């Protein structure tokens, strides 16, 4: 009887874990909230700032390439503002986060989590002209509930989150360089 109970608890625990990772179940209790920084990550891009801004904003404000549409789904558009779902592979599952994305051309893009594996994420891309190049600086904040348990979960989420952002920044760098060379 105890083994059945343990298996049942393990099964429920696994289900809850999978739902949280996928972003289908958000734990937003507002109890024991802890915050941790995301980044900073700086990337120097040999391209003008307006080209870099265009590369970052096109998946949200324009027609995104097919490969990007598989990762970013715009749910609603407004003036300089979108609600977007981001699909990311994490822990063998597809995690879906929903975020607002606000644009301040050509120097800033803000992301705020609406639904995801943690209750709070706020991120910013700041684009600064440096000589004939652009520095793209990513920074943010991630918050979790439930004291130490939340802090441990937040550390795991932050590792995946920052790795995903770093890969996106590399893609942005490559595409902006290509467009700058093309003129």
pLDDT of residue 9: 65
- Joined together, the tokens standing for residue 73 give 């789904």
Average pLDDT over residues 38-49: 98
- Rounded to whole angstroms, how far apart are CA atoms 36 and 156? 12
Indicate left, alpha or beta for 130 from its phi (over 0: left) and psi (-120 to 50: alpha). beta
Nearest to 116 by CA among 146, 87, 139, 140: 87
**10-32 pLDDT tens trace:** 777 677 767 777 777 777 899 99
Q: What CATH topology corresponds to 2-182?
A: Alpha-D-Glucose-1,6-Bisphosphate; Chain A, domain 4 (3.30.530)
Rounded CA separation 17/174 (Å): 35
Q: Cα 143–157–171 angle (5° rounding)? A: 110
The full set of domain ranges for the chain reads: 2-182
How many angstroms separate the CA atoms of 138 and 141, rounded? 11
Does the reported pTM lie above 0.75? yes
Which has the closest alpha carbon to 126: 145, 108, 142? Answer: 108
Q: Which of 148, 149, 145, 122 is nearest to 33 (CA)?
A: 145
Residues 111-130 have a mean pLDDT of: 96
pLDDT (0 to 100) of residue 1: 72
Q: Encode pLDDT of 104-117 as tens digits.
A: 999 999 999 999 99
Q: What tens digit of pLDDT does each residue of 132-180 get?
A: 999 999 999 999 999 999 999 999 999 999 999 999 999 999 999 999 9
Q: Which of the pair, 48 or 71, is modelled with greater confidence?
A: 48
User: What's the pLDDT score for residue 179?
Assistant: 95
Q: What is the distance between the alpha carbons of residues 7 and 88, in angstroms, rounded to a whole number?
A: 30
The 10s digit of each residue's pLDDT in 51-92 is: 999 999 999 998 877 778 888 999 999 999 999 999 988 778
Structure confidence at residue 110 (pLDDT) = 98
Cα dist. 113→5, 69, 74, 132, 166 in Å?
36, 19, 14, 33, 18
Determine the pLDDT at residue 3: 82
């Amino acid at each position: 009887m105890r083994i059945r109970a343990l298996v049942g608890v393990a099964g429920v625990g696994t289900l809850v874990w999978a739902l949280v990772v996928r972003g289908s179940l958000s734990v937003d209790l507002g109890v024991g909230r802890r915050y941790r920084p995301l980044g900073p990550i700086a990337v120097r891009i040999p391209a003008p700032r307006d080209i870099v801004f265009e590369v970052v904003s096109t998946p949200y404000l324009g027609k995104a390439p097919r490969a990007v549409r598989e990762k970013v789904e715009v749910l609603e558009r407004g003036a300089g503002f979108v609600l977007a779902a981001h699909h990311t592979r994490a822990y063998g599952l597809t995690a879906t986060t929903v975020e607002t994305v606000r644009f301040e051309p050509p120097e800033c893009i803000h992301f705020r989590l609406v639904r995801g594996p943690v209750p709070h994420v706020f991120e910013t891309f700041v684009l600064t002209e440096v000589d004939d190049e652009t520095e793209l600086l990513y920074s943010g904040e991630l918050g979790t509930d439930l004291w130490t348990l939340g802090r441990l979960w937040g550390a795991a989420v932050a590792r995946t989150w920052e790795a995903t952002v770093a890969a996106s920044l590399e893609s942005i760098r490559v595409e902006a360089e290509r467009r700058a060379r093309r003129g």
